[in-house]
Structure 1
Amino acid sequence: MDTTLQDPLVGQVLDGRYRIDARIAVGGMATVYRAVDTRLDRVLALKVMHPALAVDASFVERFIREAKSVARLAHPNVVQVFDQGTDGSYVYLAMEYVAGCTLRDVLRERGALQPRAALDILEPVLAALGAAHRAGFVHRDMKPENVLIGDDGRVKVADFGLVRAVDTVTNTTGTVLGTVSYLAPEQIEDGTADPRVDVYACGVMLYEMLTGDKPHDGDSPAVILYKHLHEDVPPPSAAVPGMAYELDELVASATARTPAVRPHDAVALLAQVRDGRGRLSEEQLDAVPPQALAVDHDNGDDRTTVIPRALTTPRPLPVNEDEEASGAALDRTSRFASPPPPPPSRRRPGSRRGPAAIVVAVLLVLGIGAGVWYINSGQFTEVPPLLAKTQEQAENRLEDAGLELGKVEHAYSDTVERGQIISSDPKAGERIRGNDSVSITVSDGPETVRVPALAGQKLDKARALLKEGGLEPGMVTREFSEDVPRGSVVSARPADGTKVRSGTAVALVVSKGSPIDIPDVTGSDEADARSELTEAGLKVRIATERVNSSEYDKGQVVRQTPKSGSTAAEGDTVTLTLSKGPEMVEVPDVVGASVDDATRALEGAGFQVDEDRGLLGLFGDEVKSQSVDGGATAPKGSTITIKIR
């Protein structure tokens, strides 16, 4: 039976706009449907939170956070979010619909991939994550299930549901979020996350694409977590003998157990991947690992052929490859064929100019052909590929092509190594006159800047200084300080004056001011409590709701938050809850009742009972009178005295 037929949402219109046609996938947090936006008449994916979770504010917050985070990215390799809303108990995201499959589907069907295919998938994933990291977000749950491969070969990153801003505290108070096979050691140990946890997960995915298996396995999640903490990810060549050393280097760099050793974000890893790819030969890129699964295809257009189809699509000549090595056969002479001879001219009988005219025509044709050859070939030449070459190598290539080196400029680059060519003018493949010059731009490597002096600066000012200096404000933590005023920077990491790459995120420690011991004001009148807390440097907030209290009179403080004895910073707020006096309860009439019945009635109404037997009531069992008359009211919890006769 088709399970989608049992789904109550299939066939329904959500929020009066989104008609749900079919269920695509079910996860622990939400169900994804294929739907039609009836207002704009387009197909999209609708991610609907499970109604049981919609009552949990933290889940709803995470859902909405995903929508806002992805909406800010607007990157071609990120699954876009169009809308977010609610309809009754349903909370939903309207998202871009990607027809195709996930990387998990590809790995399940094909096993290990050729290095070229693995890198073709990894590069757009890193581009998407790099955009997120530079925007201040960390994905935190990268895995093959979240990498979508469209039928057109496009690669997109999905499910930013665990995303967090880099400058927020990401400790999960002991709850490990994410999938165990792709968690970085620091996520497992303390739950904290920065862009390097995404780098680690991408390193694990690269290992899995190259070998067909995860690097660590075990009988339980606990075993896998232990291995991530205590064992390095093995080199792919251990599972695939003969695999290129450059691929081992990429995996080792991305999955280093010490975060500081890894590339600092996805942009830095992408630069390493492109550099490593440039050092691989065509044979190394196209090597088929023994773990690859043989797949027969009856239909050349089935959805899983998107990987090989992308690999066989014509692509630009690699920057590290000569035209001759590309296998492209250029028949330069075929385009310069001589024009057909002109039709014979009509001549008068007896004319002797015929042979001379023929000779002239032949010479004319040869002259035109030679001129065309000279103009189109002999006088012009193509600019050779120079990208990723050194200046010396570029000069040699230009000299071999009969060209001269022109203007040499320098520029910073995050992706091209220092000393290598970033671009040429004219570009490779363009035709220019022989002996003309070609200008080049040489990489000075990543732009480096010094962390400005931030200690003692107000937080807003420190963030502005970082932006002005080409750096990004990073995670903000707060701590008490006797020396630095509240709201000012205590220290930065990296420290003031450190030379770092442009765009690096700088973490800030901000002062909470001197610690203050919160005084105990319970039982005080509101005015006295407010005065004492204000003098201590604290702010006061009075809770809207007042509570009954038999212990404290009306207007006195019943409780305070935080409690007395705890520590707060100057300017922190203490919330006071005031008493509205004891709850008044009607007293039952127990005169004439037995002692047991009277006691049960009074205690049931919330009173305490005191027996007054005197001399005459020592052996009696009937209530003669009560201290508060029946029908009157008395504070709940107060004592009612009964006389017995």
Structure 2
Amino acid sequence: MSTPSSDPMIGRLLDGRYQVRSRIARGGMATVYLATDLRLERRVAIKVMHGHLADDEQYKIRFIQEARSAARLAHPNVVNVYDQGQDGETAYLVMEYLPGITLRDLLNDHHILTTEQAFDILEAVLSGLAAAHRSGIVHRDLKPENVLLADDGRIKISDFGLARAATANTATGTALMGTIAYLSPELVTRGTADARSDIYAVGIMLYEMLAGEQPFKGEQPFQVAQQHANDTVPAPSLLNPNVPAAFDELVAWATAREPDDRPSDAAEMLAELLVIQRELDRDAPEAAMNRTMVLPMAVESATDATQVIEPVVRLSAPTATLGPEADKLKRVSDRRRARGGWLVGLVLLLAAVAVGTGWYFGAGPGAKVTIATVAGLDVAAATAALQEQDLIVDDATTEAYDPTVPIGTVVGTNPPAGEAVDHGAVVTLILSAGPEPLPIPELVGLAEADALQAATDSRFTTTDSRYIFDGSTPGIVVQALGAGDVDLTTIETYGDQQPVTLVVSLGSIPEVSGMTVDDAQATLAQVGLTGQPAAEEYNDTVPAGNVIRAQAVQGESVVPQGGTVDLIISRGVEQVAVPNVVGKAWSEAKPILESAGFRLDYNIFADMAPGLFTVSKTNPDAESTVDKGTTIKVRFDS
């Protein structure tokens, strides 16, 4: 069967174990794929829930219920379920893979089956269904699409997705699930199901195998549902005169509108089926010796999706009279007989083919080996793993950029992992060359949002930005750092998907000059900074004990967001002694007073001939202590 190449599941590796190969079929709840179990090296069928149902808890529960229901059944006529899991958002079941066709495919090709063929299929279906009913499980969605006819002659029931534990009154809810053509009247009218509802579906399938079409038709599902609720299923012999009367009665018994008028479960119907067949074989022994063998054609099938309808109100209608043969059909018998000759012949023929094929592909010249996954290993370990598979590892390797795998470590193989190749095939290791070097965009000077977008567009990974108080424009990137805090402006290229950290300015440290220490600390706390008294300085304008300024901690160039700053505290005006310059020439005295930080009040004519003017007095007096910057009056000898 061809598979659309656009299906994202094709080629996917689920849980590192199941390699999806191709699509087999698609239904209402899930799609079934052919896959390879890489661990056990066998083909399996993977049933994947549709993505649009993944968020529906009711469908998830029903999907998991299928695995649990099937796992409770160990019977040759029920498809085995091996595993159930979840890979990310993908919920899946791992089932036995049966190459072949469905009963729907066979009916599409042949339309009407012989009585012998219908018997063989019905016996297998009832055998598997009887095992389910004995385990307390009701299938609730029996239809030809769920009956698998394997190439080796096996017949199995699949798709227990709607199965539930059987109770006296198993409800389906306000809406009905199942394919309309096989719904029992009680499912349509009351939304309830038990083992007898499965029997009704089996009866409809038997009618379809013998008559070549379904008993009820309509343009809308609602019309078909009404017929199930109100009409009696006709005898298949009305369309196919070759159908024995006993099979007409079996269809009538199985499809009685009242559940109490049907077989109680699959085991009872199976017993009566065998009674009918024995009687038919006794009446026509030559037919029993010469069964018709039909080789099913492998045709592509579009399976009917499970549908949802609302329950309909049942209209009154007389109950069908089944006749004396129906009473006879209710007798329980434990007699069994061998499977029909056509199926036995098919099994023997395909078994012989399977033996030869198994030798050819298992040990003969057609043997294949699936390449193991060695990504993440070093060269020695990967080589050893592949050589254990009887593969030859090429001495020459190739390289590929990889942003996560260390340089020199294996990132893949050629041919790729999961591909089936001949024993002794040559495999080339692909080693990581590290991240691909990429040009670095201009980030410094951009607004933070623009810089983040530019880094992402350039295939880098952005980390949380860092924020600093540096006096620049707030919100502007002042530095871009790579791994190890390397300044990206100092290099030309940087690795694909490697981290980029932006350093963004928060502007200047808040102004706290003149505030008390408590007020300054409160102001800084509003922007996430901690102020700590660090040093004292004389200051002519800030009162002693108040804050002169806040600055970066000594030795740091910037202040990070949430960091600590130093508070410089005022000691007030500095007290200094007036230098003694009395008796000194003005040319000598003036520099001494100015260097001591004093302002001077004197006769400006002294500056014209400083060597001729001698200081006679200062006010304040020499050696007295005054504020630094005080004005000193100078007097000269007259």
The normalised TM-score by structure 2 is: 0.45
Say which one has the larger Rg: 2
TM-score in terms of structure 1 length: 0.45
